[in-house]
Amino acid sequence: MLPLPSMPRPARARGVTLIELMIGMVIGLLVVLVISQTALLFENRKRAITSGSDAQVSGALALMTMQRELQDSGYGLADGGAIGCPVRAHHSSMAAGALLRFTLAPAVITDGAAGAPDRIAIVLSKPTNAAVPLRVISDHTRDASAFSVNTGSGLGLSQGDLMLAVPATVPDPQALASSETSWCSVFNLSATPATDSTTLVHASDANGPWNPDAASTVLFPGTTSTSVAYGTGSVLLNLGTLTRRTYCISGLGDDCDSGGSPLVPLNLRQISFSSSTAKESVEDLYPQVVQLQAVYGIDSSGNDRIVDQWTATAPTTAAGWRQVIAVRIAVATRSVQDERRPDLNSTQVVTSELPVWHPDGSTAESLRVDLTVGSQWQNYRYRVYEMVVPLRNMLWQAAS
């Protein structure tokens, strides 16, 4: 009898050993680590690019905004020879004796101390009706309620129009101190002059919120009620919708602050003389702006309309203000992203030197950007934008 064939022995089943499992886990963790590091690097780079792009947009918009305002500055003010006159104004909503004081100039730069950001105050006017400067034909006393002008010269003027009284000899804008004896005054027409009228009335009533109230404040020059405030030959200008806008950098703890934005925005402070109040409005414009610098372009010869000198020092005379024909401005922006890598090298920085601008067009001058972040300023990236803005209305005045 033949023997039965033997059955094949089944192969022994084998699983994953502990060593193999640990090796697989290590490989998987390494892959996850590499992917995480790559994703983190990508995200940091994306944030750096995005914050840099945002800073560039803020800088470009800030420069464009101030350029537009500077080009319009002085409109309605260049005629009549009032440029450089110290101005006083009192609104009925203000406390008794309180006065607004400023220099009637297209742009007034307040130089920041020790490299701090500058301020630029821009004044512009947009008359609603065409009106030429009017000549005062008889002396106007301090407490008088009307100006005397030639018959029919008030054509085009209306009740409520904002006017400026300019002395025959424009005083120099020294310090706008209370001891000054002559200045320019803001007032309203309280009635529309008739066609054959020889007076322009400025009574202190509801139609004249900017008119002087002798009982509470002295807006017009003079020590007594019968003092001559504006003599024969003085000039009256129609200011239209006069606006004074001040651009500054907030977040530095001064009176430009509007709450202290951590991004240090360009700040706009504005007074509209056509509003029902003299209160200054405040608005944050563009974030990431950390510096604002400006200088005057002076035509020292006074007749060729070519800038001969760039200076941050404001003129002290009316004649000096008439020589200001341009403004050079620089805006510096900072990225939001702190790009320091302390895990690699705690001393690594992305900006080794302070950014610079060129106040005279050629000489580099450092810009302070450490005012809010101190010694950490080197961990951020910066971009500087510069521009020269001709004051068109001053140039056109000279050409006329």
Q: Mean pLDDT, to the nearest integer, of 309-324?
A: 90
Ranges 34-48, 121-135, 140-154, 367-381: which has the least confidence: 34-48
Q: Mean pLDDT, to the nearest integer, of 267-277?
A: 83
**More reliable by pLDDT, 42 or 160:** 160
Distance of CA 25 to the CA centre of its chain: 61
Q: Quick one: CA dihedral 164, 170, 176, 179, positive or negative? A: negative
When pLDDT is cut at 50, 70 and 90, the band that residue 250 belongs to is confident
* pLDDT of 55 higher than 60: yes
pTM above 0.85, yes or no: no
The region, left, alpha or beta by phi > 0 then psi within -120 to 50, assigned to residue 26 is alpha
* pLDDT of 292 higher than 60: yes
pLDDT at 307: 92
pLDDT at 328: 96
Cα-based distances in Å from 42 to 35, 46, 188, 229, 383:
10, 6, 62, 71, 23
State the chain's mean pLDDT as an integer. Answer: 82
* pLDDT of 193 higher than 90: no
Q: Mean pLDDT, to the nearest integer, of 348-360?
A: 88
pLDDT at 330: 95
Answer yes or no: are the C-beta atoms of 204 and 106 closer than 8 Å: no
Q: What is the pLDDT of residues 39-52, one digit of tens each?
A: 777 666 666 655 55
Cα separation of 297 and 359, whole Å? 10
367, 373, 379, 383: CA torsion to nearest 10: -40
Ranges 32-36, 52-56, 293-297, 306-310: which has the least confidence: 52-56
Backbone φ and ψ for 88, nearest 5 degrees, come out as -125, 140
Angle at 301 between CA 296 and CA 303, to 5 degrees: 100
- Range with the largest mean pLDDT of 9-23, 123-137, 234-248: 234-248
* pLDDT of 259 higher than 60: no
Ranges 267-276, 318-327, 349-358, 378-387: which has the least confidence: 267-276
Ranges 14-23, 131-140, 218-227, 303-312: which has the least confidence: 14-23
When pLDDT is cut at 50, 70 and 90, the band that residue 312 belongs to is very high
Strands (E) across 287-346 are located at 289-298, 309-311, 324-334
* pLDDT of 356 higher than 90: yes
252, 253, 254, 259: CA torsion to nearest 10: 100
pLDDT at 215: 64
pLDDT at 400: 43
Count of residues making up the chain: 400
Answer yes or no: are the C-beta atoms of 287 and 261 closer than 8 Å: yes
pLDDT at 251: 73
When pLDDT is cut at 50, 70 and 90, the band that residue 367 belongs to is very high
Share of the chain above pLDDT 70, in %: 82
Q: Quick one: CA dihedral 220, 223, 227, 233, positive or negative? A: negative
